[in-house]
Amino acid sequence: MDAARTVMTETPEPAAEAVGRVTPKASDEVARITPMMEQYIEIKAANPDCLLFYRMGDFYEMFFDDAEVASRALGIMLTKRGKHLGNDIPMCGVPIERADEYLHRLIALGHRVAVCEQLEDPAEAKKRGAKSVVRRDVVRLVTPGTLTEDSLLDAKRNNYLLALVRSRASADDDRFALAWIDISTGEFCVAECDRTSLAAEIARIEPGEIIVSDAFYADTELAPFLRSLPALTPLTRDVFDGATAERRLSAFFGVATTAAFGSFSRIELAAAAAAVTYVERTQLGKRPPLSVPARELGGATLAIDQATRGNLELVRTLSGERRGSLLAAIDRTVTAAGSRLLAQRLAAPLTDAAEIAHRLDAVAVFVDDGAARNDLRSGLKAVPDLARALARIVVGRGGPRDLAAIRDGILAAADFSARLARLGAAPRDIALAAAALCRPDAAIAAELKRALADELPASRRDGGFVRAGYELALDEARALRDESRRVVAALQVRYAETTGIRALKIRHNNVLGYFVDVSAQHGDKLLSAPLNLTFIHRQTLAGQVRFSTSELGDLEAKIANAAERALALELEIFDRLAAAVSTASAPIKEAANALAAIDVATALAALAAERDYVRPEVDGSLAFAITGGRHPVVEQARIADGGPFVANDCDLSPPPPTYPPPLAGENKEGAGRIWLVTGPNMAGKSTFLRQNALIAVLAQMGSYVPARAAHIGVVDRLFSRVGAADDLARGHSTFMVEMVETAAILNQAGERALVILDEIGRGTATFDGLSIAWATIEHLHESNRCRTLFATHFHEMTALAGKLNRLHNATMRVKEWQGDVVFLHEVVAGAADRSYGIQVAKLAGLPQSVIERAKVVLAQIEAEDRTSPARRLIDDLPLFAATRAAPASPRDGALNAVVDALAALNPDEMSPRQALEALYALKARLAKQS
């Protein structure tokens, strides 16, 4: 940073801004504030919750606390600049050309940054007087949820800003509205939910930033939950004001009323308005090309809570990487937008069988037509990220390459529309995409094609992006500029001739402008008459002497003017093109979405063809019948290692109706089955459980699935829990986490849920664990009645199949071979008789002596276990009797009986002895029943 500081002092700052170069006298030190500091403090006061990037020349400077925070966060040097109220002002800065990189790091750490620019040339300020300060203001707030730059974003992921609003009907009847926006792509959705599904909804959206009202933020009951969320920004109440919501929202979209967007609840409107208000604030009034808010109906997507998402490793693994996740395993998209759409679909599988079928139809077309699939996919590879380029153009942050992306995107869209038309009769989703693809205005693409040069600079400020011949005035300015340059070259030749110095050169730098440069030995010649009349000495360096001439001065001004004029004209053209694009942004965005949809459909088809996936049958039944299912991620890993993956069936469909039909009131058939999966460690239980959950997710997102056949009745909630998963970060013990998560399932899972429980009850003592697992299974069977896969190492539980009619025992086949155990990874009906823990321990390399000793101990325990309480459980325990309504406890029953008996007594007609006997009888009754 030392070098950087040096550059700093060279920046053209008005003298008045050189705070602290003069040390004020002690007496006025306290009161004195320089005009620049005054400006800084004013701007900072308007943006108290942001780090202020204060533009000074080629740097963004930070002062005071900001400087301390940023220097620590970025590892840059903290210096000081002048004094404020008698104290040193801490300062640090980042060079503008590296600002994006530093911004990225600050944002990733959860900071918000206000970018304050110089709004005029320092020379302008000087004209107002030596003491005047360059006009500056904040042009943008950079927050985690409102980014547009490719350098700050992950191309393959959406980055959402989420506004969260609560309505308090009563203490236990909170409703929440969520509105989420990706300003880099224009997506905008709204939904409502209750307290139980709030966390799951947020986990699905994975917002980069969440905004809530101050009051909500301060809520003590929700505080622990809110604090656990990433980048939470509390804002003043007015942002969430319901009364002005409708007006703000319609103003943003420039419509008279939001009625045309569909009907929103009061809190949905408030959330949507809060989100757009925040977008406007951070973009300082610029309006990114948002789609009108799309309302998601409650229950339209498969509810998957955070623990389940993590556990199933849908979009990232438990260690946080994309590699190894389901998303990585199935992503065959070739565009960034396609990749984002695929991630969205994976995060929010559908629950409407007809919609799912539409998506599957689109995939099916390209599964069947491999030629069309390959053709489209190779074409898509060249398609730019239209949505993000468009967003940058509209908020005024775009460059020439973004315009080129829009040109290429529109042309590609038209081309793809024609290619899709050639497919013939297309299913709904493809027909919709084809229609959207030909909607953008072809004239815009044509205009951009005419206007843009072949080679484009990254920034429009660099100029040179407009094609020669596009605009006469620009061509003239450029000719003048280039002509002048030729004149300079000619001048150099002439000066060399007249002076006789062959090595004379005309050069240019920022300090001297154009100058004549000769080596020291020739310097004297120009310094003496008559040449000293033409050549005016400017600078003597070690080996060089430099001169200016009046001719050079004139030329310089001409060149600068011409170049300046050329750039100004180019910027004007840029603005014109950008405005044209902005006006036509809606159809361009639709085309971008359509391209992404085609990418996803063809990519899923490519996956299905490559991995031999099958189209699932998804309907409104409660079926769950998978034939030859495979784990999409483990399978690929196994194949990469050269091993086979063993396919397995799973059938959780309700058992066929019995005959004769059960008596009224007893009709408990029709609910799905529970598979209790036993088997030794490493046999493949967890893999089997997860593969079935993943197949359900894939099917409902509209993908083919890794199986020979799959029939799935729509799942509305998916739960997956693993015993003994640590969550130390949140301060829960292993067992506590396991129980909290199990409680959530037992309280929430309905008949349409799919529940995966992997070794629940493992985190505590054996009998505790067994008892909990036991009671959990009973509750799932009798009360939740949902399709369930339950892996356990408590083999005692397999006896439950005798009592619970929809419980099915399954086990992992293993073979014993010369005292070792071989895992066949095959799921078969039946119960494991042994856990082979010792064999697994042996495989893991435990010392032979320990293995031998363990065998002796095991034999002893097994002999005693014949009479253990767990063995008798099944015979002695009455069946779990829970119903959905809280059941009357035995205690209540006894009380009722006693109360009834008491009511039947008539003390007036009783002798003292009868009264005493009645009292004894009541006591006895109570004792017997409680």
Judged by the rule CB under 6 A, the positions of this chain that interact with ligand ADP are 634, 638, 645-646, 679, 681-687, 825
**Could you tell me how far CA 784 lies from the centroid of its own chain?**
32
Contacts of 743 (CB under 8 A, 6+ apart): none
* Residue 308 contact partner, candidates ligand ADP, Mg ion, none, CB within 5 to 8 A by sort of partner: none
CA distances from 117 to 56, 112, 122, 305, 532 (A): 8, 16, 12, 43, 45
Query: Could you tell me the two tokens for 786?
Result: 């949902």
Specify the residue, 477 or 677, whose C-beta has the smaller distance to Mg ion.
677
Specify the residue, 57 or 680, whose C-beta has the smaller distance to Mg ion.
680
Instruction: Write the DSSP symbol of residue 867.
Output: T
* Residue 785 contact partner, candidates ligand ADP, Mg ion, none, CB within 5 to 8 A by sort of partner: none
- Let me know: does 726 contact 690? Beta carbons within 8 Å: no
CA distances from 53 to 99, 515, 912 (A): 9, 37, 94
Specify the residue, 642 or 912, whose C-beta has the smaller distance to ligand ADP.
642
C-beta of 328: minimal distance to ligand ADP in Å?
A: 17
* Residue 786 contact partner, candidates Mg ion, ligand ADP, none, CB within 5 to 8 A by sort of partner: none
C-beta of 685: minimal distance to Mg ion in Å?
A: 5
Would the CA dihedral through 128, 129, 130, 132 be positive or negative? negative
Would the CA dihedral through 399, 404, 406, 409 be positive or negative? negative
- Let me know: does 372 contact 265? Beta carbons within 8 Å: no
C-beta of 207: minimal distance to ligand ADP in Å?
A: 33
Residues 668-707 contacting Mg ion, CB under 5 A: 685-686
* Residue 646 contact partner, candidates ligand ADP, Mg ion, none, CB within 5 to 8 A by sort of partner: ligand ADP
Q: Should residue 792 be labelled a site residue for Mg ion when binding is judged by CB under 5 A?
A: no
**Could you tell me how far CA 58 lies from the centroid of its own chain?**
33
For strands 513-519 and 624-629, give the pairing: unpaired
Residues in binding contact with Mg ion, number by CB under 5 A: 2
CA distances from 516 to 490, 492, 511, 526, 847 (A): 13, 8, 13, 10, 86
CA distances from 915 to 378, 907, 908, 922, 929 (A): 96, 7, 10, 11, 21
Sheet holding 303-304, edge to edge: 303-304, 717-722, 754-758, 787-791, 674-678, 807-817, 820-829
| Separation of alpha carbons 59 and 91, rounded Å | 12
* Residue 634 contact partner, candidates ligand ADP, Mg ion, none, CB within 5 to 8 A by sort of partner: ligand ADP
Specify the residue, 186 or 680, whose C-beta has the smaller distance to Mg ion.
680
C-beta of 686: minimal distance to Mg ion in Å?
A: 3
| Separation of alpha carbons 821 and 834, rounded Å | 11
Specify the residue, 55 or 690, whose C-beta has the smaller distance to ligand ADP.
690
Specify the residue, 686 or 764, whose C-beta has the smaller distance to Mg ion.
686
Specify the residue, 146 or 686, whose C-beta has the smaller distance to ligand ADP.
686
Specify the residue, 659 or 817, whose C-beta has the smaller distance to ligand ADP.
817
Specify the residue, 140 or 685, whose C-beta has the smaller distance to ligand ADP.
685
Of the candidates 446, 500, 493, the one whose C-alpha atom is nearest the C-alpha of residue 470 is 446
* Residue 467 contact partner, candidates Mg ion, ligand ADP, none, CB within 5 to 8 A by sort of partner: none
C-beta of 840: minimal distance to Mg ion in Å?
A: 12
C-beta of 316: minimal distance to ligand ADP in Å?
A: 19
Query: Could you tell me the two tokens for 650?
Result: 């799973």
Specify the residue, 233 or 681, whose C-beta has the smaller distance to ligand ADP.
681
C-beta of 642: minimal distance to ligand ADP in Å?
A: 12
C-beta of 683: minimal distance to ligand ADP in Å?
A: 4
C-beta of 374: minimal distance to Mg ion in Å?
A: 40
Specify the residue, 384 or 684, whose C-beta has the smaller distance to ligand ADP.
684
C-beta of 715: minimal distance to ligand ADP in Å?
A: 21
Widest distance between CA atoms in the chain: 149
Report the phi/psi class of residue 759: left, alpha or beta, with left for phi > 0 and alpha for psi in -120 to 50: left
* Residue 842 contact partner, candidates ligand ADP, Mg ion, none, CB within 5 to 8 A by sort of partner: none
Of the candidates 535, 477, 539, the one whose C-alpha atom is nearest the C-alpha of residue 501 is 535
| Separation of alpha carbons 166 and 268, rounded Å | 9
Q: What are phi and psi of 814, to 5 degrees?
A: -130, 155
* Residue 683 contact partner, candidates Mg ion, ligand ADP, none, CB within 5 to 8 A by sort of partner: ligand ADP
User: Any bridge partners for residue 500, and if so which?
Assistant: none
* Residue 645 contact partner, candidates Mg ion, ligand ADP, none, CB within 5 to 8 A by sort of partner: ligand ADP
Interface characters, 503-522, with Mg ion (x: CB under 5 A): --------------------
Point out the residue whose Cβ comes nearest to Mg ion.
686
Of the candidates 178, 89, 181, 174, the one whose C-alpha atom is nearest the C-alpha of residue 143 is 181
| Separation of alpha carbons 855 and 141, rounded Å | 67
C-beta of 698: minimal distance to ligand ADP in Å?
A: 17
C-beta of 721: minimal distance to ligand ADP in Å?
A: 14
Specify the residue, 594 or 683, whose C-beta has the smaller distance to ligand ADP.
683
* Residue 409 contact partner, candidates ligand ADP, Mg ion, none, CB within 5 to 8 A by sort of partner: none
* Residue 594 contact partner, candidates Mg ion, ligand ADP, none, CB within 5 to 8 A by sort of partner: none
Specify the residue, 178 or 646, whose C-beta has the smaller distance to ligand ADP.
646
C-beta of 689: minimal distance to ligand ADP in Å?
A: 8
- The three-state DSSP-derived secondary structure of 130-178 is CCCCCCEEEEEEECCCCCCCHHHCCCCCCCCEEEEEEEECCCCCEEEEE
* Residue 613 contact partner, candidates ligand ADP, Mg ion, none, CB within 5 to 8 A by sort of partner: none
Specify the residue, 650 or 800, whose C-beta has the smaller distance to ligand ADP.
650
C-beta of 644: minimal distance to ligand ADP in Å?
A: 7
Query: Could you tell me the two tokens for 625?
Result: 């019948």
C-beta of 732: minimal distance to ligand ADP in Å?
A: 23
Would the CA dihedral through 548, 549, 553, 556 be positive or negative? negative
* Residue 687 contact partner, candidates ligand ADP, Mg ion, none, CB within 5 to 8 A by sort of partner: ligand ADP
* Residue 684 contact partner, candidates Mg ion, ligand ADP, none, CB within 5 to 8 A by sort of partner: ligand ADP
Strands (DSSP E) found in 622-673: 624-629, 648-651
| Separation of alpha carbons 428 and 418, rounded Å | 16
Specify the residue, 366 or 645, whose C-beta has the smaller distance to ligand ADP.
645
Point out the residue whose Cβ comes nearest to ligand ADP.
684
Can you give the binding site for Mg ion, defined by CB under 5 A? 685-686
